[in-house]
Amino acid sequence: MTTFDTIYQNIIRKVMEEGIEELNERTGHKTKALPGITFSIDIEKDGFPILTLRKQPIKSPIAEQVWFIQGEKDTAFLRKFTKMWDLFIEPDGTLSSAYGWRWRHHFGRDQLGKAIELLEKEPSSRHGVIVTWDPKDDGYGGTPKKNVPCPYTYVINIIGGRLHMHNILRSEDMMLGGPFDIFGFALLQCMIAERLGVRPGIYTHSISNAHIYDNHYEGAKELIGRTNDHPKVELHLPKDSFKRAEQKDENLVGEVLADLQAQYNPLPPINGLDIIV
């Protein structure tokens, strides 16, 4: 199996075997959960982290990251490629806590742009921090929102001539959200690396509450029993991908998708993995 398939399967096994089962009051579903799950994968050495143990959507996370880089909260661009955010869209067609908007506008500062500028001038800087969570307004029973950020901060560093990312999440639905977020943020890491003219390095993913919903238990058991002799996937980004994303180049999504689809031969989907909101 690929390095990422092995890592992910082991996490699912650990949560199913060691997770504490409790009722989640907000959703009305039981979950098995563990705190403090962290893993790292070297994208350059181990390949791009795309799950092959079951078929998963790949156009959606590509379009999502291209949209995030634009810094938009209007969903018009995103909805040309995916309807996955439709449950969270406000009546005016926006996402109130859109990640890219928060990275580039919400706090009165273009965090992502400034971090890239800083690393261009000072590659050894340790200040490449991008925050999504708004402590003024998110959580604690405050202003009701259809979506409160789960990946709430990430850090980018250049070490040894490679761009590394540490992504930190307050909460992760491991059967659906996990593979999707890992794919998306690893893609973002590669696009930032391409923008800075360095190689992609280690992607680290840390989850404060890693959980599996009760209606996903059977799917998790099926995934634990699967194996796939799949070669590692290597991402080949088009030239100037980050800048093209900023320019809202719709062709970019299809080009990245074609590169990955040509290498992607997953096992069949696992049925019954309905989203819980």
Residues in CB range of 199: below 8 A, 6 or more apart? 44, 161, 162, 163, 193
Structure token digits, residue 227 = 């194996």
Please state, as a whole number, how many other Cβ atoms lie within 10 Å of the Cβ of residue 35: 11
**What is the Cα–Cα distance from 178 to 205, expressed in whole angstroms?**
10
**What is the Cα–Cα distance from 268 to 53, expressed in whole angstroms?**
8
Single out the catalytic residue among 148, 150, 169, 237. Answer: 150
Length, in residues, of the chain: 277
DSSP-derived secondary structure letter, 152: E
One-letter identity of residue 205: H
One-letter identity of residue 124: S
One-letter identity of residue 147: N
Distances in Å between the alpha carbon of 129 and those of 71, 132, 191? Answer: 16, 10, 16
DSSP string, 34-75: EEEEEEEEEHHHH------SS----HHHHHHHHHHHHT--B-
Structure token digits, residue 60 = 């959606």
Residue 150 annotated to the active site: yes
One-letter identity of residue 175: M
- Compute the half-sphere exposure of residue 88: CA atoms within 13 Å on the CB side of its CA: 22
* Partners of 207 in the β-ladder: 37, 169
Positions marked active-site:
150
